[in-house]
Amino acid sequence: MAVFRESVPRDLRGKLMELNWTLVLLLVLLGAAGVGMLYSVAGGSWTPWAVNHAIRFSAAFGGMMVIAMFPPRFWMGVAYPIYVVALVLLAGVEIAGVTINGSQRWLDIGPIRVQPSEVMKLALVFALARFYHDLPTEKVSSLGGLLVPAALIGLPALLIAKQPDLGTTLLLIATGGAIVFLAGLSWKIILPGAIAAVVGAVGFFRYGLHDYQRERIMTMFNPDADPLGAGYQILQSKIALGSGGFTGKGFMEGTQSQLEYLPEKQTDFIFTILGEEFGFVGGLVVLSIYALVLANTIAIAISCKSTFLRLLSMGVATTFALYVIINVGMVMGALPVVGVPLPLISYGGTVMMAVLAGFGLILGAHIHRNAEPPRGAGLFG
Amino acid sequence: MRADRQEQDLKFTRRALIMSGLGGLAFIGLGARLYSLQMLEGERYRLLSEDNQFNFDLLPPSRGRILDRFGVAVADNRDSYRVLLVPEQAGDVGAALDRLSRFMPMSDADRERVLRAVRRQSRYRPVTVADDLDWQTFSAINLNAPDLGGVRPDVGEVRSYPYGAAFAHVIGYVQTANEDDIAASPREEEGLLLHPGFRVGKTGVEVSRERDLRGAAGALKTEVNARGRVIRELPEQSTAPQPGRDVVLTLDADIQRYAHERLGQESASAVVIDVNTGELIALASTPSFDPNLFVGGISSSDYAALRANDHNPLFHKSIMGTYPPGSTFKAVVAAAALEHGLVDPNETIFCNGSTMLGRREFHCWRRRGHGRVNLHEAVKTSCDIFFYEMADRLGIDRLYDMAVRFGVGEQFDIGISGVRSGNMPNPAWLRARSNEPWTTGHTYNVGIGQGAVLMSPLQLAVMTARVASGRAVEPTLYRNALARPAPHIGVSEPALARVRAGLRGVVEEPGGTSYSLGGLGIEGVAMAGKTGTAQVYSITAEERASGVRDQDDLPWRLRDHGLFMCYAPADDPKYAVVVVVEHGGGSSAATRPARDILRRVVARDPSSRAGVFADLAGTDRRGGA
């Protein structure tokens, strides 16, 4: 059987020819949905959110295209430096961060206010992908092969947990864990590890959480018990969503969200407005777009020849999927309220940039799927 | 190396697919949850969302008016100027009240009440600072409202009784609903009854026609946000309040007011009735009270003063007071004797001032006697001896039967509560009451309207009307377009004519007990009447010896009640008037007021003038609204 060595496009034209237009179209659809919903949430106004969202999306979209053009070799080169920078930024939050809503998550760099934890999500994927790319397969389940990823994940996780930002911490651990799993960790380690994780989580819930964090988790199970207290958001969100019915109340007709029953409606609870105004049909369409994005991404990952690109793509896809699942699960009262936005639809610049940068990498992976960058010296030679 | 590589590819693909499977399951879970929320429970959440979103502000209905027979409002609604405060707009409520106090008096108690109300409810809900302000104060506040911050001038409605005390007993008054009123009303009206400013009928027509007068509350649907702020009003989805229906009375406000004034400060009552229809033209009771005082809540000192007054201002004497009819009852006795053929019109009986029944002596009011009197003379001069004899001939059963025909002892339903039935005694009644046997002495007493006979002024008026018209008229207080003339009373016309002639003689013929009145005072119109005295206390022999000669020497409480019934015109009766003056010291206290009222009503002749009826008035009002 003849083995074709498929080519990797080298010039810009060739790369654009190889661009995954389906994925691009799906992302634009999501961004447009975000603009529409933010317009509606503001009571039919472009300000304050919709216009910013559109501008940010356009800018980040451009950035995504640029990122897609860079060869994997480049990304491998900057993978560790990016991780280090992100780690420094996280530590910077600890020292000079801006406190909003009781947690220190933002860092002012010149005119821009960034959330280093969002940067870290991508940086961690980079670092892990690079690490496993360099690591010989047989060493994945070795002691060194375990400790380094554990450190790469654990360090930022601890810093983010201190902010405190439980949602992002768990997201980071889950993403890292997924990459480790995809890298081929032996089931003999996965199973006991999973058991240990469950035991640890229970202990953490008991002793490692702030009261408000524990309360958030508790209220998820019975939001009606305290309709005006901690369960208020979830209950109002469920009322808004549920009242949407099959086809919804119509664009800009979402009474609950328009009447300020919902807090943070432009960020974490944007899916609620979507569900209220466009009903079951609208919710299902948006969920389907997300599913299609993910299916596309996984297909790209599988088509990639190099471990780096595979893990990079899957890492980004995992983060993206977790965002969607946690956010939508939360607004429907199925998961605890942990400030996780709905990617590309929720208002928020850093997340938008991080998500589209991630898709830049995925689009790049698709273009360069046949590239096989040599294994680097690696940490273990 | 290549096999190794392929195995590694396969492992990655496998694990990527495992992850995809997990993700897919999660997405299916989300879809299922969405289905459950929006499709299965959608209806429940839709209702919850409406609860969230809409408030229904109650709009109280306008209370129906109470009109006299000519459409003159005797119970009306007037605008009440109020000042409301919206705490959310006022910011600092204390400072807002300080600013407001420059324009209107405000006591510490008022301040405290407002601040308490503010603490209790949403800051978007207006609080009533002051009610029923005068126009000057209100317009000053209205003018300065933009600078006062959160102050909202408002106009509501409050019940008013333009005739004040004159109609107090008949119309009654309204007050804030109490727990009993709430319990007595349908559940869906509870909100209305609790609405600040809403009043319900407490006495008189206001309570007996409450269902007509109340109307139905409307609701203003408003959309509110999470903090209770009204975003917009939705008039097209609101229901307008249904105003209450007007009630039209048979009373003539002019006559009613005149009767009230004519009785003055006596403890008295007056009833004016249309003898052919039974329509009550006036129903007065003095002294009275100002029902307007009760609407806003009467002060306890005012109320205590009303309660303590020995002239009983709160008591509706014309329907609730019962008195021995005295000689007025002789009209019934005369009619009975004639009807049964027990007396010939020309037959005379000798009155020497007293008569013996066994060993008991019965006196005539005129101690020196009337001499020989026939029936006409006996009625005219009110000879007691003649009527002892008539009563004896009739016996109590026939007397009782005739009295009942004239309405004695009957509880008339005039559409307000408290109407007394009085008493018409007979042997069965006496046996039940004291197990005594009925004696001729009892019959004698009934013959002159004393003893256990008790009648209210209303019953006296009905009796007079029935004598005058020969019809079994029923008294009524409400105008009814379908009213028919009452059936005949069943006493022969010649008998009644003779009684009427006697009654006419009382006033119009020399020697009549009320001849000194000088008649009605309208050229060519004769009147008929009959005096009565209800004994309250017998002057004892000792008192007589110690100088108590007559009623004026007795304390007020012990003086006799004075009664007078009359009607006119004597030859074609239209109106009857009854006046009872409690402790008036004899009938003379009642005759002049009764005659004056009768003159007024005959001159005005309200029954011949076009009046209004409830249905028409109700339609008019709705059409205009």
Residue range A107-131, pLDDT digits in tens = 776 666 677 888 898 999 999 999 9
pLDDT tens digits for range B191-230 = 788 776 788 999 999 999 999 999 988 888 777 665 556 6
Q: Which residue of A has its CA nearest to B43?
A: A243
Is the dihedral angle over the CA atoms A63, A68, A69, A70 positive or is it negative?
positive
CB-based contacts of B264, cutoff 8 Å, min separation 6:
B286
Average pLDDT over residues A245-270: 77
Average pLDDT over residues A1-18: 74
pLDDT band at residue A250 using 50, 70 and 90 as cut-offs: confident
Four-way CATH pick for B56-248: 3.20.20.30, 3.90.1310.10, 3.40.50.12780, 3.40.1790.10: 3.90.1310.10
pLDDT value of position B138 = 87
| B234 touches A at CB < 8 Å | no
Average pLDDT over residues A165-193: 87
How far does Cα B487 stand from its chain's mean position?
Answer: 28
* Rounded CA separation A94/A112 (Å): 18
Determine whether B301 is an active site residue.
no
Domain count, chain A: 1
- Chain A residues whose CB is inside 8 A of the B1 CB are none
Average pLDDT over residues B335-361: 93
| B8 touches A at CB < 8 Å | yes
pLDDT tens digits for range A15-43 = 888 899 999 999 999 999 999 999 988 88
Task: Copy the structure tokens of residue B152.
Answer: 């909202």
Contacts of range A42-45, beta carbons closer than 8 Å, 24 or more positions apart? A42/A266, A43/A252, A43/A258, A44/A252
pLDDT band at residue A98 using 50, 70 and 90 as cut-offs: low
Record: contact B37-A279, CB cut-off 8 A: no
- Chain A residues whose CB is inside 8 A of the B12 CB are 182, 184, 302, 307, 310
pLDDT value of position B622 = 38
pLDDT value of position A258 = 65
Helix extents (H) in B478-539: 493-508
Burial class (CB in 10 A: 0-12, 13-18, 19+), B200: buried
Q: Is residue A50 part of a domain?
A: yes
pLDDT band at residue A376 using 50, 70 and 90 as cut-offs: low
Q: Is residue A343 part of a domain?
A: yes
pLDDT at A10 over 90: no
Record: contact B48-A301, CB cut-off 8 A: no
* Rounded CA separation A91/A34 (Å): 32
Class of domain B321-593: alpha beta
Q: Is residue A132 part of a domain?
A: yes
Record: contact A184-B49, CB cut-off 8 A: no
- Chain A residues whose CB is inside 8 A of the B33 CB are 329, 332, 334
* Rounded CA separation B117/B495 (Å): 72
User: Would you list which residues of chain A are within 8 Å, Cβ to Cβ, of chain B?
Assistant: 137, 178, 181-182, 184, 236, 238-246, 255-256, 259-261, 275, 279-280, 283-284, 287, 290-291, 294-295, 298, 301-302, 307, 310, 314, 318, 321, 325, 328-329, 332-334
pLDDT at B400 over 90: yes
- Ranking A13-22, A256-265, B200-209, B484-493 by mean pLDDT, the lowest is A256-265
pLDDT band at residue B623 using 50, 70 and 90 as cut-offs: very low
Phi/psi region, residue B204 (left: phi>0; alpha: psi -120 to 50; beta: rest), is left
Average pLDDT over residues B221-241: 73
Cβ neighbours, 10 Å, residue B517: 23
Residues of chain B with CATH 3.90.1310.10: 56-248
pLDDT at B625 over 50: no
Average pLDDT over residues B614-621: 48
How far does Cα B523 stand from its chain's mean position?
Answer: 36
Provide the percentage of residues in chain B whose pLDDT is more than 90: 57
Give this complex's ipTM: 0.90
* Residue in B13, B24, B53 nearest the CB of A259: B53
CB-based contacts of B337, cutoff 8 Å, min separation 6:
B343, B375, B390, B393, B394
Average pLDDT over residues B275-291: 94
Record: contact A290-B19, CB cut-off 8 A: no
* Mean model confidence pLDDT for chain B: 88
pLDDT value of position A104 = 62
pLDDT at B136 over 50: yes
Q: Which residue of A has its CA nearest to B15?
A: A182
Record: contact A314-B16, CB cut-off 8 A: yes
- Ranking A134-138, A148-152, B36-40, B68-72 by mean pLDDT, the lowest is A134-138
pLDDT value of position A177 = 92
* Rounded CA separation A77/A89 (Å): 20
Average pLDDT over residues B259-268: 94
Q: Is residue A163 part of a domain?
A: yes
pLDDT value of position A349 = 84
Residue found under tokens 């807002």: B96
Residue B534: what are its φ and ψ, rounded to 5°?
-105, 115
pLDDT value of position A228 = 46
Q: How far is B476 from chain A (nearest CA, A)?
A: 57
Q: Is residue A379 part of a domain?
A: no
- Ranking A51-60, B15-24, B109-118 by mean pLDDT, the lowest is B109-118
Structural domain boundaries enclosing A189: 12-367
- Higher-confidence position of A221 and B105: B105
| B411 touches A at CB < 8 Å | no
Average pLDDT over residues B510-538: 91
pLDDT tens digits for range B527-555 = 999 999 988 877 776 777 776 667 777 88
Q: Which residue of A has its CA nearest to B19?
A: A178
Q: How far is A130 from chain B (nearest CA, A)?
A: 16
Average pLDDT over residues B67-74: 94
C-alpha distances out from residue A301 to A361, B27, B52, B290, Å: 11, 20, 47, 93
CB-based contacts of B58, cutoff 8 Å, min separation 6:
B191, B192, B195, B217, B218, B219, B220
Average pLDDT over residues A318-337: 88
pLDDT at B162 over 50: yes
Q: How far is A176 from chain B (nearest CA, A)?
A: 13
* Residue in B13, B35, B48 nearest the CB of A280: B35
- Chain B residues whose CB is inside 8 A of the A325 CB are 23, 26-27, 30
Task: Copy the structure tokens of residue B233.
Answer: 């009003």
Average pLDDT over residues B362-385: 93
Provide the percentage of residues in chain B whose pLDDT is more than 70: 94
Look up residue A31 and give its DSSP letter. Answer: H
Average pLDDT over residues A287-308: 95
Average pLDDT over residues A91-101: 72
CB-based contacts of B148, cutoff 8 Å, min separation 6:
B96, B99, B100, B141
pLDDT band at residue B572 using 50, 70 and 90 as cut-offs: very high
In whole angstroms, how large is the CA radius of gyration of chain A? Answer: 21
Record: contact A242-B37, CB cut-off 8 A: yes
pLDDT at A74 over 80: yes
B509 and B380 Cβ atoms separated by less than 8 Å: yes
pLDDT at B259 over 50: yes
pLDDT value of position A286 = 96
pLDDT value of position A113 = 67
Specify the 3-state DSSP secondary structure of B547.
Answer: coil
pLDDT value of position A6 = 67
* Residue in B31, B38, B52 nearest the CB of A261: B52
pLDDT at A381 over 70: no
Q: How far is A310 from chain B (nearest CA, A)?
A: 8
- Chain B residues whose CB is inside 8 A of the A250 CB are none
Record: contact A290-B27, CB cut-off 8 A: yes
pLDDT at A68 over 60: yes
Record: contact B16-A298, CB cut-off 8 A: yes
pLDDT value of position A109 = 67
Candidate list B285, B288, B327, B382, residue with the active-site label: B327
* Rounded CA separation A38/A265 (Å): 9
pLDDT band at residue B405 using 50, 70 and 90 as cut-offs: very high
* Rounded CA separation B42/B414 (Å): 57
Among A140, A224, A243, the strongest candidate for a mutation testing the B interface, having the largest count of B CBs within 10 A, is A243
Provide the percentage of residues in chain A whose pLDDT is more than 90: 44
Query: Is the bond preceding B569 in cis, omega lying within 30 degrees of 0?
Result: yes
C-alpha distances out from residue B92 to B106, B114, B142, B145, B226, Å: 17, 13, 20, 16, 22
- Higher-confidence position of A259 and A242: A242
* Mean model confidence pLDDT for chain A: 84
pLDDT value of position A193 = 84
pLDDT value of position B332 = 96
* Residue in B42, B49, B231 nearest the CB of A256: B49
Q: Which residue of B has its CA nearest to A183?
A: B12
